Structure 1
Amino acid sequence: MLLNAALVSITNLLARVLGSRLVRGHFHLMLSALVLFGPVFSFSASKYSIFANGNHYLYRKFLKSTWGWTCTFAGSFILLLSISAHCSPSLSLRHLSRLGVAGLLWWGCQHLLTLLENAAGACYEPLNPAQDVQGTASSVQPLLLLHEDQTKASCLKASMTWRGYEVSQDILILCLCCLLLVEETSVFGPHLAQAKPVQGPPGSPLRFLFLLCVLLLAVWIFLLLCLLTHFPKFPSQQLGGALGYLGWRGLYQGWYRLKPSWSCPGLPGEGLLTTTDKQPQ
């Protein structure tokens, strides 16, 4: 009973915060400010910090599977919220399709950015001492042999040097997932307000999934700050953040605001709540 009371109190508080106009209307601005000015903290960051190690547990277990964690937690929350609201299976699938659309967007961005990086960059191999014909000057900064037939992946796999323009895919997916989680979880507050007088408060499983989604959001924001602080790459990280923002803008502030149909999933909470709480422009 004590744990359940704590869970109810915490989730009620978090639901009010995420459902507030400040968060729903300005979270994207706060995230944009973090991406733009986060690298400033790199001047005071210690290179001996555990988060300055690229092989840290958080990076290995979470960063490379960001979309998988987000899809699992957000999808489970959407499904259980639909069941709690007693909606039809077709409506549940329609709401889940938002994750499918975002997944297709991320898949397309990955392939497109990889093609652009391979087209705009080149692979170089450092000259060994036997090939060095420039004397002491080249021993300080050895010349590089160009390999034009290499892709970025094959070049790095062969322990060579890749030089070219790139967009940070890690920052892109972290920003997109943060914005997606805020959008999907912000309807929990209106759901609580509607559920109490109608069918009673939601059960502990739904509240626990909501709490997990909020914790995952905190992890993504923390990882985003760590990358910007300990591994600053200007302007590739800012370009990645801008693409993540544009993806969210096109989906949740554009397409999903159309009338729900077979070609439009609709906004989070559309059809689940008696009075749909539209998000501010």
Structure 2
Amino acid sequence: LFFVTNFLARVLGSSLIRRHFHLLLSGLVLFGPVLSFWVSKYSIFANSNHYLYRKFLRSTWGWTCIFTGSFITLLSLSARHSPSLSLRHLSRVGLAGLLWWGCRHLLTLLEDAAGTCYEPMTPGQDGQSLASPVQPLLLLHEDQNKASCLKAHMLWRGYEVSQDVLILCFCCLLLVEEMCVFGHHLERQKPLQRSPGTPLRIIFLLCVLLLLVWMFLLLCLLAYFPKFPSQQLGGALGYLGWRGLYQGLYRLGSRWGCPGLPREGLSTTILALKCPSKLRNELPNPLSRLHAVNVTSR
């Protein structure tokens, strides 16, 4: 556990991952649908009722909130033992959840406004012969929204944004942004000869596994259920949400009432945490300095 978590912390804390992970995710969203030409439609992942889709994809934010919130709490308590600091860092997850809730409801309203519900007609309803090769017409239902239309087993046609790809991209970027701090925390603890506890290392490892699951599910959606351009729009909105929070709002700092970046406030002063005997040896003694000045004047 010690070796694996240290290795993963160095990988996630490297400048390559911190600065270019969003480019990797963007390339996956753009070119992932190309894999649909090589994957098999008889694969178990081509079934939309697969266990991974039912248990993880429909509750993506819930899993991310639980694991990320636990990691932030344990990390902040391990660094400073300050409940107020832990609550301030946990507020980042709350703001991200509020953004996802508002974005989901806004997209639902836009889809209901831009789409239309249709009911397929039987060949006898449109007055055509049963042997007619013409495709049956559709009955229009203007009073239906998308949820009720699909629940009634009718057809919904309109512009939409893939909310699954949106939340997967947003959660991947959020997890990487929060976990990058762990490598810096390990470096700060080395001079103090302190090591993070086992619970913190375990929850960090679980967060990494969750990140891999989200990336795998994203790849499966793009390869087995390609929807252009709704999936690309969802990925773009997820990127913009991460950009607006971590590259915009959180950089304002606590003086503006913002929770700040993940690393803010977690760094402790090394000299202040050392034992008092070493601290007295390293700090200058004002009495000895005053004695030296008196001898020089004499």
The TM-score range, normalised by the shorter chain, is: over 0.9
Alignment of structure 1 residues 64-213 onto 2, 5 Å: 64-135=58-129, 140-198=134-192, 200-213=194-207
- Among 25, 31, 39, the alignment partner of 2:25 is 31
Residues 123 and 129 in structure 2, CA contact (< 8 A), matched pair in contact too: no
Which segments of 5 or more consecutive residues in structure 2 lack a partner in the other structure? 270-298
Distance of 2:122 and 2:132 partners within structure 1: 10
Give the drift of 1:82.
Answer: 0.9
Counterpart check, 1:249 vs 2:250: no
**Corresponding letter in the other structure for 2:137:** L
3-state DSSP of counterpart to 1:125: strand
Relative contact order: is structure 1 or structure 2 higher (C-alpha 8 Å, sep ≥ 6)? 1
3-state DSSP of counterpart to 1:253: helix
Residues 124 and 130 in structure 2, CA contact (< 8 A), matched pair in contact too: no
3-state DSSP of counterpart to 1:130: coil
| Aligned match of 1:4 | none
Counterpart check, 1:13 vs 2:13: no
Residues 132 and 139 in structure 1, CA contact (< 8 A), matched pair in contact too: no
Distance of 1:262 and 1:86 partners within structure 2: 22
3-state DSSP of counterpart to 1:261: helix
Alignment of structure 1 residues 252-263 onto 2, 5 Å: 252-261=246-255, 263=257
Which segments of 5 or more consecutive residues in structure 1 lack a partner in the other structure? 1-6, 276-281
Identity among equivalent positions (%) equals 78
Distance of 1:198 and 1:71 partners within structure 2: 31
Residues 110 and 169 in structure 1, CA contact (< 8 A), matched pair in contact too: yes
**Corresponding letter in the other structure for 1:54:** S
Give the drift of 1:90.
Answer: 1.3
| Aligned match of 2:53 | 59
3-state DSSP of counterpart to 1:91: helix
- 1:52-75 CA-to-partner distances (Å, cap 9, x unmatched) read 000000000000000000000000
- Among 210, 220, 245, the alignment partner of 2:214 is 220
Residues 87 and 272 in structure 1, CA contact (< 8 A), matched pair in contact too: no
3-state DSSP of counterpart to 2:195: coil
Give the drift of 1:136.
Answer: 5.2
Residues 132 and 138 in structure 1, CA contact (< 8 A), matched pair in contact too: no
Give the drift of 1:138.
Answer: 5.7
Residues 19 and 188 in structure 1, CA contact (< 8 A), matched pair in contact too: yes
Give the drift of 1:259.
Answer: 2.3
- Relative to structure 1, the CA distance from residue 87 to residue 137 in structure 2 (aligned partners, 3 Å threshold; closer, same or farther) is farther
Q: CA RMSD in A?
A: 1.3
Give the drift of 1:199.
Answer: 5.6
Q: Report the count of equivalent residues.
A: 269
Give the drift of 1:89.
Answer: 1.3
* Larger Rg, first or second structure (1 or 2): 2
3-state DSSP of counterpart to 1:146: strand
Residues 80 and 268 in structure 2, CA contact (< 8 A), matched pair in contact too: no
- 1:75-100 CA-to-partner distances (Å, cap 9, x unmatched) read 00000001111242111111000000
- 1:195-245 CA-to-partner distances (Å, cap 9, x unmatched) read 122261111110000000000000000000000000000000000000000
Distance of 2:256 and 2:197 partners within structure 1: 31
**Corresponding letter in the other structure for 1:190:** H
Residues 122 and 162 in structure 1, CA contact (< 8 A), matched pair in contact too: yes
**Corresponding letter in the other structure for 2:140:** L
Distance of 1:203 and 1:256 partners within structure 2: 28
**Corresponding letter in the other structure for 2:225:** F
| Aligned match of 2:286 | none
3-state DSSP of counterpart to 1:142: coil
| Aligned match of 2:41 | 47
Q: TM-score, normalised by structure 1?
A: 0.93
